[in-house]
């Protein structure tokens, strides 16, 4: 029997800079996948969706959705889909550009 279980993490893009962000345990947004909070509890997933809807209405994030992750026995998270593996690893292009650019 496996020591991993499948849960879900909420992700979106931050509207101010387009960065991939993840919903944390404290229901804030982080650009670090390691800060993501995963759950398989329906009531907690509903809380993820409520927090996200508020953030979308407040124009903080866009394009939000839940995705599946495996949770290791040590609590580590691993995205199950290729798209989420790539998104959690960071940009694949433009890595030589500054993190933020001033717009005139």
Report H helices in the chain. 42-57, 82-89
Q: pTM for this structure?
A: 0.83
- CB-CB contact of 38 with 32 (8 Å): no
> For residues 58 and 41, what is the distance between their CA atoms, to the nearest angstrom?
26
Residue pair 29/22 in contact (Cβ under 8 Å)? The answer is: yes
pLDDT of 75: 87
* Exposed/middle/buried for residue 60 (C-beta within 10 Å: 0-12, 13-18, 19+): middle
The token duo for 4 is 């991993």
3 state DSSP class of 38: coil
Interval 53-104: pLDDT, tens: 999 999 999 999 999 999 988 889 999 999 999 998 877 776 776 666 555 5
Cα 48 to Cα 80: distance, rounded to the nearest angstrom: 19
Question: What is the gyration radius of the CA atoms in the chain, in angstroms?
Answer: 15
Distance separating alpha carbons of residues 93 and 60, to the nearest angstrom: 24
């Amino acid at each position: 029997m496996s020591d991993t279980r499948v849960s879900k993490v909420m992700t979106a893009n931050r509207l101010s800079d387009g960065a991939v962000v993840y919903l944390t345990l404290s229901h804030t947004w982080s650009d670090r996948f390691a800060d993501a909070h995963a759950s398989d509890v329906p009531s907690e997933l509903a809380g993820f969706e409520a927090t996200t809807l508020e953030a979308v209405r407040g124009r903080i994030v866009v394009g939000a959705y839940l995705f599946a992750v495996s949770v290791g026995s040590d609590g580590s998270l691993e995205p199950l889909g290729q798209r989420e593996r790539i998104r959690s690893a960071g940009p694949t292009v433009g890595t030589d550009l500054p993190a933020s650019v001033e717009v005139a």
